[in-house]
């Protein structure tokens, strides 16, 4: 890294990411926030403590403009999010928030709830949102100490990306050659199953034909009283 880029990075570390000036929020006659001034620097971890009902959640909701401030200004980086011309969805693409309650849509699955923000706010396609979720899940599983992760029927490029980004070995089932290991069900590998032919399947034998012929021959021999013969009995 050059000296110029190092200095630029040092400057960014200390710059304010969130700046709040004179924030007030009232619900009717109930004043919840009274002239709050706050500045959060890049890389800084800030904890806001207070009893229930003191306005902590309201403050955070105002920062994301889920609540409209009664007065005051809020800046995220260099953008005043309280300005009328600000595209708040564009700002929210850089801001994450974990709600105090679950706030899940009951008509959607947990997976679709997680993908919703990526599709609506980041304007990602469904496939792209699913890929990002899978990648995050793989990182979480690896950090949790899993000894291996099975990737089944996903695009080869995505499987290769997951394999490259995590130290945990990956096992592919129809996930391309980029995985650390591969799995084939033995019935499929030996050709015992005939009706199942996904794209990733390679048969190394045709035991279905061999076994079917053997059973048919056995049935014929029994019906014709050829089995067992004199040499095959005591």
CATH of the domain at 62: 3.40.50.300
62 part of a folded domain: yes
Asked if the model's pLDDT at residue 96 lies above 80, the reply is no
How far is 20 from 14, CA to CA, in rounded Å? Answer: 16
Domains identified in the chain, total number = 3
Final residue in a domain of this structure, among 27, 61, 92: 92
38 part of a folded domain: yes
pLDDT in tens, 19-55: 999 999 999 999 999 999 999 998 899 999 999 889 9
pLDDT value of residue 172: 96
Q: Is the pTM of this model over 0.75?
A: no
Same domain? For 13 and 87 the reply is: yes
Q: How far is CA 155 from the centre of its chain?
A: 15
By DSSP bridging, strand 170-173 and strand 79-80 are: unpaired
Place of tokens 């007065």: 71
Beta-strand ranges (E) seen in the chain are 16-27, 30-41, 71-76, 79-80, 149-152, 170-173, 181-182
35 part of a folded domain: yes
What average pLDDT does the segment 131-155 reach? Answer: 94
Final residue in a domain of this structure, among 92, 127, 144: 92
Same domain? For 200 and 177 the reply is: no
How far is 132 from 138, CA to CA, in rounded Å? Answer: 10
Structure confidence at residue 123 as a pLDDT band (50, 70, 90)? low
pLDDT value of residue 2: 41
What average pLDDT does the segment 64-70 reach? Answer: 91
Same domain? For 74 and 59 the reply is: yes
Considering only 129-138, 144-153, 167-176, 205-214, which range has the smallest mean pLDDT? Answer: 129-138
Same domain? For 79 and 123 the reply is: no
pLDDT in tens, 203-221: 999 999 999 999 999 999 9
- Angle CA 131–126–124, to nearest 5: 85
Quick one: 159 exposed, middle or buried, by C-beta within 10 A (0-12, 13-18, 19+)?
buried
Same domain? For 169 and 148 the reply is: yes
pLDDT value of residue 12: 54
Same domain? For 17 and 46 the reply is: yes
102 part of a folded domain: no
Final residue in a domain of this structure, among 29, 60, 92: 92
State the average pLDDT for the chain: 88
Quick one: 104 exposed, middle or buried, by C-beta within 10 A (0-12, 13-18, 19+)?
middle
Same domain? For 167 and 224 the reply is: no
* Domain interval for residue 220: 188-234
Same domain? For 151 and 194 the reply is: no
């Amino acid at each position: 890294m050059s000296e110029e880029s190092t200095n630029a990075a040092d400057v960014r570390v200390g710059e304010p990411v969130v700046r709040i000036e004179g924030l007030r929020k009232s619900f009717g006659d109930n004043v919840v926030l009274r002239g709050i001034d706050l500045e959060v620097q890049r890389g800084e971890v800030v904890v806001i403590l207070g009893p229930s009902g003191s306005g902590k959640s309201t403050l955070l909701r105002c920062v994301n403009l889920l609540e409209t401030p009664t007065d005051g200004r809020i800046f995220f980086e260099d953008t005043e999010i309280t300005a009328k011309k600000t595209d708040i969805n564009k700002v929210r693409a850089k801001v994450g928030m974990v709600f105090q309650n679950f706030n899940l849509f009951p008509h959607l699955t947990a997976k679709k709830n997680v993908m919703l923000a990526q599709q609506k706010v980041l304007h990602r396609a469904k496939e792209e949102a699913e890929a990002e979720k899978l990648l995050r899940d793989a990182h979480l599983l690896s950090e949790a100490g899993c000894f291996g992760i099975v990737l089944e029927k996903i695009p080869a490029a995505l499987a290769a990306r997951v394999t490259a980004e995590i130290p945990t070995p990956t096992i592919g089932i129809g996930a391309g050659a980029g995985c650390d290991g591969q799995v084939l069900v033995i019935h499929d590998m030996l050709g015992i199953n005939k009706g199942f032919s996904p794209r990733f399947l390679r048969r190394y034998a045709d035991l279905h034909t061999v076994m079917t012929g053997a059973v048919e021959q056995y049935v014929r021999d029994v019906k014709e009283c050829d089995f067992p013969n004199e040499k095959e009995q005591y």
